[in-house]
Amino acid sequence: MKVNGTPTRTIWRAEDGAGVEIIDQTRLPHAFVTTRLETLDDAARAIKDMLVRGAPLIGATAAYGMALAMRADSSDEALNAAHDQLYATRPTAVNLRWALADMKRVLAPLSPSQRENAAWLRAAEICDEDVAINEAIGDHGLALFREAWEKKGKTGTLNVLTHCNAGWLATVDWGTALAPIYKAHDAGLPVHVWVDETRPRSQGASLTAWELNQHGVPHTVIVDNVGGHLMQHGMVDLCIVGTDRTTAAGDVCNKIGTYLKALAAHDNGVPFYVALPSPTIDWSIKDGLKDIPIEERSGEEVSVITGRTEGGEVVSVTITPEGSPCGNWGFDVTPARYVTALVTERGVCRATENGLKGLFPDVAGNAAAE
């Protein structure tokens, strides 16, 4: 997508070929800053401290992390150690495991002297594949938006609610849940987006709003507790969110708060779509509530909030009283029964085992064989 008119991705190999450049998302929306990763440790820290975040981008960064590791030491021990170090950064987004397993599949059979080049090549391919997947999700989602617009008699505004940031900042480009929004806007549909602020790290208020501003898409930032009220009053035509891990039976894990939006949508007959790139499907599990690891992060993310003063300074302040502990679960699971449909790069399907197998018979077949 474009930043101030310039086509930009979230991650790319540095021109000198010795490093990786990323957008430091902890500085948005108040500053657009890119930073250079030079080592495996840099890549692992960028994921853990959320300079990069969003399931697909976590996977892409891990792939480039393996390339940086192979640049320093391409032995078998280093390959396994790099895999394990990156794997330990964050537990929920399954794209991390997918990308690391894919890199190992490519690199392990090679001689150490071949591994660095092969790693850079495969990491770049994973990025290009991600962009193609997301654009396809955009096209399939656009058809659903057109349907909703028809159903609305093509009058007024098409009001879409989204939670967290599943835009191009969460991927390499295009985004997942935001891709149909960009496609619809570019196709002339009068889209308006309700943007959940998404506490505690405010990915909606700081990242989604920033992206939509860059692209000129009308939107309104709302606190996380407003969506149900808007749905009760017919002010939401559809919801679309991303996912960090979706099971083979269609249970969807995404940013904390997604489940509550799905419940409200279900209660008010509002379609609840999930944009799902295939690397985010965990074919090894069915029961999301039982089998998906939910990340718990520091309570400080809840008690401390960052913003810009009138003078333009970016400061952090504590919003809770001394002595009050904070709990911070990062994700929740929306059972498949509350998901209207999954929007994948191969098309739209029901959030069921048969729905996913119907679109991905090859992948489901391989997973079953493993």
Which residues of the shown chain bind ligand MRU in the complex (CB under 6 A)? Answer: 53-56, 93, 164, 166, 170-171, 176, 203, 242-244, 254-255, 330
Q: Which residue of the set 42, 244, 282, 332 is catalytic?
A: 244
**What is d(CA 43, CA 54) in angstroms, rounded to the nearest whole number?**
15
**Angstrom distance (rounded) from CA 180 to CA 186:** 10
Backbone φ, ψ for residue 174 (5° rounding): 75, -40
* Alpha-carbon span 90 to 93, nearest angstrom: 7
Q: Closest distance between ligand MRU and the C-beta of residue 14, in Å? A: 24
Nearer to ligand MRU, 141 or 242 (CB): 242
Half-sphere exposure of residue 232: CA atoms within 13 angstroms, side-chain side: 7
CB 100 within 8 A of CB 108: no
Contact of 204 with 242, CB cutoff 8 Å: no
Residue type at 198 in one-letter notation: T
Contacts of 129 (CB under 8 A, 6+ apart): none
Return the closest-CA partner of residue 342 out of 203, 165, 176: 176
10 Å Cβ neighbour count for 367?
15
**C-beta contacts of 317-326 below 8 A and 24+ residues apart:** 325/299, 326/299, 326/300, 326/301, 326/302
Query: Which residue, 203 or 278, is less far from ligand MRU as judged by CB?
Result: 203
Q: Which is nearer to ligand MRU, 54 or 288 (CB)?
A: 54
Q: Which residues pair with 220 in a beta bridge?
A: 194
In the complex, the smallest distance separating the C-beta of residue 56 from ligand MRU, rounded to whole angstroms, is 5
- What is d(CA 233, CA 227) in angstroms, rounded to the nearest whole number? 10
> Which CB atom, from 117 or from 306, has the smaller least distance to ligand MRU?
306
**Closer to ligand MRU by Cβ: residue 152 or 297:** 297
Instruction: Count the alpha carbons within 13 Å of 160 in the hemisphere toward its beta carbon.
Output: 31
Nearer to ligand MRU (CB atom), residue 71 or residue 255: 255
CB of 172 to ligand MRU, least distance (A): 10
d(CA 358, CA 35): 42
Taking the complex as a whole, the smallest distance from the CB of residue 256 to ligand MRU amounts, in Å, to: 8
Smallest separation (angstroms) from ligand MRU to the CB of 18: 27
Is 16 a catalytic site residue?
no
Catalytic residue set: 244
